[in-house]
Copies of this chain bind each other. A is one copy, B any other.
Amino acid sequence: MPPATEELIALTQAQLGEINEALDSGTFQQVRRLLNGLQPVEIAHLLESSPPPSRRILWTLIDPELEGEVLQELSEDVQLQFLRGMNTEKVVEITEGMDTDDLADVLQRLPDAVIQEVLAAMDAQDRQRVEQVLSYDEDTAGGLMDTDTITVRPRVTLDVVFRYLRRHDELPGSTDSLIVVSGKGEYVGLLPLSKLLTSSPNSTVREVMSTGLEAIPATMRDTEVASLFERHDWISAPVVDDDGIVVGRITIDDVVDVIREDADHSLMSMAGLDEEEDTFAPIHRTAPRRAIWLGINLLTAILASSVINIFQGTIDKVVALAVLMPIVASMGGVAGSQTLTVVIRGMALGQIGRSNINWLVSREFFVGLINGMLWALTMALVAGWWFEDPIISFIIAAAMVINLLTASVAGALLPITLRSIKIDPALAGSVALTTITDVVGFFAFLGLATYFYA
């Protein structure tokens, strides 16, 4: 019998359709049955794929026992929407039994008073663990870590380790190694399960443990943690505090979320959006967020227009200039955004720095020059045929070369410059670049025209 996993994916849209139909016809019992037959992660995906009205109804139909698990699978933005609607007792109830890292994530979005009540409702050991995770910034290794580690001492034999493990009902998720610690709890090494299973039970932990892997400092940025996991194909890694004491471990499933968000960050920021943006956010949340970005762009568009304004007299003389001028600006914008995207991606991958930026800028200069000349020549022929005026052909070609060169070099230098003054290149880069290519494009084209036609 062929396996059925492939259906899992296609299911979502079909399920959504079915659930929406059932919702419309008011047969909530049926929806409840459909919904609670799914895994929490699938319910979370369904909620994220639903517009707010169905989302609210769906939430009320989820089995209360599943609510906590569903909540921790939701993206930040959607999670917050549901948390806002809960009173403190509900939050206490729903967060029972969550992993410490997920619980800390949820708590961080709540008011201080609620956090205190949730913590007060926990037993001492769990509270201490959550407080430890909460003491680190959400975007650091400490904020990402789980505190449920299994540690062993270097002196014991593997046989003892086997007996120790059998006393557990199960191991914490994604456990691929046990952490070897000293009597004080300091990190000593790792005992991979695969080593444990392939070595003689009479060996000691010290004899078979791996010491090559350094522990991750709790204060390391989560994107750096992700990059280490990616480069070294880790599944889990120990986290230590400033004194080298093991405080938790990070697992690949949390790192995958960081990688996904990190990769989404460039895409979303370049359109002035947040990477946590809820696809189905309601109008009253979407409109204000986008308005700010549009406002900033209106300012830069007015700036570009004021350049055109300087040359009103010239346009009045040769109206064909008004027809052709958007082409110069547009081509500069496209060329610049290609360079900008390559450089921003390269920076996110940690490939670009002082040692190679000069080479990159000079490559972009020549690529801009070659493509500028190619399409300037093409455009000169088109303009010549269109307006039967060799001067306008020459002017647009020259302006295009100038603008594509500027765009390419600016696209390479802007992200580096912005980063050095602590501004996110993905967010500010595209606005800054469009402003440059519009202003330079209009200035070059209309300036040259004024010189030749005046």
Contact = CB atoms under 8 A, between A and B. Distances in A.
Contacts of A20: 355-356
Contact of A271 (B169, B198, B337): B337
B309 A379 contact: no
A252 B254 CA distance: 12
Given A260-B259, A301-B330, A231 B45 contact: yes
B326 A319 contact: no
A401 B412 CA distance: 35
Given A263-B264, A338-B293, A355-B20, A197 B166 contact: yes
Given A259-B260, A315-B322, A323-B312, A194 B214 contact: no
Interface stretch (A60-68, A83-91, A173-181): A173-181
Contact of A267 (B42, B197, B263): B263
Interface string A306-322: 00110010011001111
10 A-B pairs closest in CB distance: A263-B263, A171-B194, A13-B353, A279-B346, A322-B322, A233-B253, A51-B359, A271-B341, A49-B351, A16-B355
Which size class do A's interface residues fall under?
A: 35 or more
Interface stretch (A29-37, A104-112, A365-373): A365-373
A168 B295 CA distance: 64
A351 B431 CA distance: 29
Interface in A264-286: 264, 266-268, 270-273, 277, 279-280, 282-283, 286
B13 A215 contact: no
Contacts of A438: 326, 330
B304 A326 contact: yes
A59 interface: no
A5 B309 contact: no
Given A268-B341, A374-B291, A282 B363 contact: yes
Contacts of A434: 330
Given A260-B230, A263-B267, A327-B302, A370 B283 contact: yes
Given A197-B171, A198-B169, A297 B352 contact: no
Contacts of A392: none
A124 interface: no
A224 B9 contact: yes
A345 interface: yes
B41 A232 contact: yes
Contacts of A346: 279
A17 interface: yes
Given A220-B5, A315-B319, A319-B316, A294 B335 contact: yes
A26 interface: no
A1 interface: yes
A174 B233 contact: yes
A92 to B, nearest CB: 26
B290 A335 contact: yes
Interface string A322-358: 1111110111001101101111011001111111100
A166 to B, nearest CB: 6
A423 interface: no
Nearest to A426: B267
Nearest to A1: B244
Given A216-B5, A351-B48, A334 B294 contact: yes
A382 interface: yes
Contacts of A5: 214-217, 220, 228
